[in-house]
Amino acid sequence: MKELALIMPVYNEEACIGEVIQSWHDEFKRLKINFIILILNDGSRDHTAERLKDFSKNKKVEVIHKENSGHGSTILMGYHLAVEKAKWVFQVDSDNEIRPDQFVNFWEKRENYDGLFGIREGRLQEADRKTVSLIARNLIYFLYGKGVADPNVPFRLLRAEVLKKIIFKIPLETFAPNVIISGAFTLHRFRIYNHPVICWGRETGATTLVSWKIWRSAFLSFWQTIEARYRLRSL
């Protein structure tokens, strides 16, 4: 059993993925952590798969190639794998918006908490995304209570034994499982730590959601979050 499993969903990140994986690998080594990095390639259509071959001989990096199913279901797949491999599970996106040097602030405090969540600062968002994020945050507060300050943040360190109780009650096709997981941590009063993280903004690639898709996805996510509240009443 590892100390830490990182899960990273990847889609069309050929320009930066090699550098991102290596930077996390090096940071974990610097902190002397017994770790595994799980890379989930969600059916990338560019040269991401070729870039990932550079890690084929690295025993600390496990690459899973899968058919495209979306960011949410890919995260859930990663969580299902990670809780069986390590005591702690860390999730971060592959776009390098939040850098590894901020991880130590979470790792050093982990023993006193069940879930440690980033609060994104300096994040540049279009008006549609800001509105959706605000609605999502208020929905979580209404349904689950106040606990996780940034419910959908892709920078979270979670105790595996707690996460395991939650994820098997979330359908694999869920659009935004991190929002629901944040709600579950609040609902059941697990020990939560919130800490600011600097969000540098995407330097390569592009977001896959245009304005009308953002709102369509938001309505789906809102409905799934409401449904999940009843499913998660008991763990």
Q: Could you report the per-residue pLDDT of 80-120, keeping only the tens digit for each?
A: 999 999 999 999 999 999 999 999 999 999 999 999 999 99
pLDDT of 124 over the 50 cut? yes
Bigger pLDDT: 78 vs 143? 78
| AA letter at 27 | E
Report the alpha-carbon distance of residue 164 to residue 174 in Å, rounded: 16
pTM: 0.90
Question: Which stretch, 34-38, 130-134, 148-152, has highest mean pLDDT?
Answer: 34-38
pLDDT at 156: 98
The CATH class of the 2-231 domain is alpha beta
C-alpha distances in Å from residue 191, one per residue of 133, 186, 188: 23, 8, 9
Across 156-166, average pLDDT: 98
Q: Which residue has the tokens 């960011």?
A: 71
pLDDT at 214: 61
